[in-house]
Structure formats: structure tokens, C-alpha cells
């Protein structure tokens, strides 16, 4: 990406030096999907229940027990390359500034005034308006406080574990979370939450609706990329391939297959690899929010 002369956003709460790994909230859905095949056989014996109890105690005290079987990193064992970490922080601040500049220009065409979200950079764990956040949750947007939360270590995981390196892969991830902010401004997230509550815990319907939310955010990320290229000329050779590779790498089907060897579409919450690539590509090709209606 051509970002050397770009400005850095000031809408950043940098907590990297103050956040840590001593407390955790509930594990994310992705973590639970990984844990379940391991935990299910243990439920049959008292000894198994004891192991589960110790694992839970370790989790909430800040250690990821999956690291013992090579499926995750312990928060306290992460060694941070400060120079690399700072370089990535500067880059992601520039990407955030690009989203601000693009959406400020684009949204008035749709009758909206852009309200800039805040980006929280943290390391290990931190507190959000949506509860306690840990690095294992991955980047997320919290509608309660209109903030995007990112542990920069996620990008190392994206490159190393999921084979999706590159600066535009990182930009795609942030643009996706900012896409959720657009949805929040539109009232989409509130409508989705009300619909889920009205279904009385029907997980299959809730999951399917959440997939539509995530795919729309992917499409919005594509819309941002379309206009960022048109206005600032940010793209370099290979950038689009990096974003599509990242979208594919974090598709539900690929993550489930890697974790358990099985794919269960009824448990998808973000969409398949193909769906994520297709909707990002749609936004990128057209650059029109109205073409991102994943709910029809």
C-alpha cells in the first residue's frame, strides 16, 4: 500500500503499554468451537471435569490452555518486537485515517454524516464497552462505545498461522471493523439484535443473520478500498490478492476444517471463504453501499 505520506488518525486510544493478560472474559465463539471437540470426551468422567475446571481457571487467570497443545499462545509468553509493533501501529493509524477521509466524503451521498469511531490498540487484554476483551477474540467492533479493538498480535497470527500476510490484509481487517461502525450508524446492528432476541435463542437463525451482518461489513470494506484507490491511489500490485487471501483465510469453513476437520454451516457466524471474498470483491468493483444489501 502507498501510505508513506498519509496522515495518522488521532482517534486512537493506545493501551499497548497498560493492557495485559491477567484477566479474561468469556471465550469467543471461535475459541469455543475449537474447545468443544477436546472437552466433550472429558465430560464423561470426574477426572475430565477436573481437567476442564483447571483449564477454565487458567483461562480466566490469563493463560490460554490451548497453547499446551499448540493451538494458541499464552498471553504472558508473548515477546513483542517493539520496533515492528510500533511500525504496525503507525500503519494501522494511517489506514484508520484513510477510512475517515473516505467515509466523510462518501456517506453524505447516502444522507448520512460520518461519525468517526475510535480505535483501541491493546496487548493481551483490555476492557471494552462490550465486556472484557482478550487477544484470542481477534479484532472486533463494540457498538456500545463505538470503538474498534485490535491487538496487533492478531496480524502476526494472520500471517503465520493462517498464511495471510501483507499490509493490505491488515487494512482489510480494519476496514471490515469500520464497516460494522457504518452498520451501527445505519441502525442495522440494533435491528439485528432485536431480531435475535425475538427468536428466543434459535441459534441457527441467529447465526445465519450474523453471517449477513459480517458479509455486509466485508462489502463495506470493499467500498472503502474502491474509493480510497480513486481518491488517494493507495493500491500497489498484489494488494487486492492479499485482501482476498485474508478473507479466505478467516472464512468459517476453513477455520472449522483446520480446527476440527469438519464443517458445520449451521454454526457459521462470519460466512464461508468464498462468500467473504465475493462480497469484498463486490464492494470493491462497484463502490456503492446500496449494492451491499446482504439481507435480501
pLDDT > 80? residue 293: yes
For residue 10, the model assigns a pLDDT of 97
% of the chain residues with pLDDT over 70: 85
For residue 72, the model assigns a pLDDT of 45
CA distance 246 to 277: 9
* Residue whose C-alpha is closest to residue 286's, from 241, 215, 220, 213: 220
% of the chain residues with pLDDT over 90: 73
For residue 76, the model assigns a pLDDT of 40
CA distance 139 to 83: 21
For residue 20, the model assigns a pLDDT of 56
CA distance 200 to 71: 33
Q: Which helix (H) or strand (E) holds 230?
A: helix 203-232
The chain-wide mean pLDDT, for the chain, equals: 88
* Residue whose C-alpha is closest to residue 174's, from 117, 124, 128, 236: 117
pLDDT > 50? residue 244: yes
pLDDT > 90? residue 242: yes
Greater confidence (282 vs 20) lies with: 282
Q: Where are the domains of the chain?
A: 29-77, 79-292
Greater confidence (51 vs 221) lies with: 221
Instruction: Summarize pLDDT for 30-61 with one digit per residue, the tens.
Output: 455 555 666 667 777 877 777 777 777 765 55
CA distance 216 to 39: 33
Instruction: Summarize pLDDT for 121-153 with one digit per residue, the tens.
Output: 999 999 999 999 988 899 999 999 999 999 999
Instruction: Summarize pLDDT for 178-190 with one digit per residue, the tens.
Output: 999 999 999 999 9
Mean pLDDT, residues 83-108: 97
Region of 166 on the Ramachandran plot (φ > 0 left; ψ -120 to 50 alpha; else beta): left
210 close to 269: Cβ distance less than 8 angstroms: yes
For residue 23, the model assigns a pLDDT of 45
What residues contact residue 202 under an 8 Å CB cut-off, 6+ apart? none
Q: Which helix (H) or strand (E) holds 151?
A: strand 147-151
Pair type for strands 118-122 and 147-151: parallel
* Residue whose C-alpha is closest to residue 220's, from 289, 118, 141: 289
pLDDT > 80? residue 157: yes
Amino acid at each position: 500500500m502507498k501510505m508513506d505520506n498519509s496522515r495518522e488518525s488521532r482517534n486512537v486510544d493506545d493501551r499497548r503499554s497498560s493492557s495485559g493478560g491477567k484477566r479474561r472474559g468469556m471465550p469467543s465463539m471461535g475459541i469455543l468451537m475449537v474447545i468443544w471437540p477436546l472437552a466433550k470426551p472429558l465430560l464423561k468422567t470426574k477426572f475430565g471435569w477436573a481437567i476442564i475446571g483447571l483449564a477454565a481457571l487458567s483461562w480466566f487467570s490469563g493463560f490460554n490452555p490451548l497453547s499446551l497443545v499448540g493451538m494458541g499462545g499464552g498471553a504472558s509468553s508473548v515477546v513483542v518486537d517493539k520496533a515492528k509493533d510500533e511500525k504496525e501501529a503507525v500503519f494501522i493509524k494511517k489506514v484508520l485515517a484513510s477510512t475517515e477521509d473516505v467515509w466523510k466524503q462518501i456517506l453524505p451521498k447516502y444522507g448520512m454524516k460520518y461519525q468517526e469511531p475510535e480505535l483501541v490498540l491493546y496487548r493481551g487484554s483490555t476492557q471494552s464497552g462490550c465486556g472484557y476483551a482478550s487477544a484470542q477474540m481477534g479484532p472486533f467492533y463494540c457498538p456500545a462505545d463505538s470503538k474498534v479493538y485490535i491487538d496487533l498480535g492478531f496480524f502476526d497470527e494472520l500471517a503465520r498461522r493462517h498464511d495471510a500476510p501483507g499490509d493490505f490484509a491488515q487494512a482489510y481487517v480494519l476496514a471490515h471493523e469500520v464497516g460494522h461502525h457504518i452498520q451501527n450508524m445505519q441502525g442495522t446492528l440494533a435491528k439485528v439484535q432485536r431480531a435475535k432476541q425475538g427468536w428466543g435463542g434459535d441459534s441457527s437463525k441467529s447465526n445465519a443473520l450474523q453471517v449477513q451482518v459480517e458479509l455486509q461489513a466485508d462489502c463495506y470494506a470493499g467500498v472503502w478500498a474502491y474509493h480510497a484507490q480513486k481518491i488517494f491511489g493507495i493500491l500497489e500490485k498484489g494488494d487486492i490478492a492479499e485482501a482476498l487471501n485474508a478473507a479466505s483465510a478467516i472464512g468459517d469453513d476453513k477455520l472449522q476444517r483446520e480446527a476440527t476437520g469438519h464443517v458445520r454451516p449451521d454454526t457459521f457466524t462470519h460466512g464461508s471463504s468464498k462468500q467473504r471474498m465475493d462480497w469484498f470483491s463486490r464492494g470493491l468493483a462497484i463502490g456503492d453501499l446500496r449494492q451491499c444489501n446482504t439481507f435480501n
